[in-house]
Amino acid sequence: MKALLPAFCRPLGYVILVLALFMPFFLFMKGFVTDTNLLFYKECTKLLMMIGAIMIIFALSKNEGLKIEHIRNISVRNAIFITFLIIFGGMLWRVYKGDILTVDTSSFLVFLIVDVLCQEFGIKKAELEFFFKKK
């Protein structure tokens, strides 16, 4: 999978993730979040997190090449598997608890965050392997 975005989108994606993570707490302390608009802010936060994660996944890396493309492909495969386990575990938990009202709507966000984690781990692992093979 080739990178689609320029390199500056990677740190920008992390900034967007941090803002999306802490902005709801700041808005709540300022009194902007109420019971009537809570759903709006929740969905906007999820959307911002999705945008940030997609920017990180599809941005160019420092040493972009076939190795990074391979790592990106492996991270997507691993993220699909781990996300399936997380969602399946949540489904089993809801069945065990007998909860028929709660529905998981953030599975794509979970996939993106797990994909970012797998990709970052793969890139750092490849850098360490290259560093120790070099010596």
Q: What is the pLDDT of residues 51-104, one digit of tens each?
A: 998 888 888 877 777 778 888 888 888 888 888 888 888 888 888 888 777 776
In a domain, 13, yes or no: yes
40 vs 66 pLDDT, higher one: 40
In a domain, 120, yes or no: yes
pTM of the model: 0.75
CB-based burial label for 41 (10 Å; 0-12, 13-18, 19+): middle
Range of the domain at 72: 9-134
Is the pLDDT at 106 greater than 90? The verdict is no
In a domain, 16, yes or no: yes
In a domain, 3, yes or no: no
Calculate mean pLDDT across residues 105-116: 83
Nearby residues of 14 by Cβ (< 8 Å), 6 or more positions away: 52, 56
Question: Token match 């997190």: residue?
Answer: 49
In a domain, 119, yes or no: yes
In a domain, 117, yes or no: yes
In a domain, 1, yes or no: no
In a domain, 2, yes or no: no
Number of structural domains (the chain) is: 1
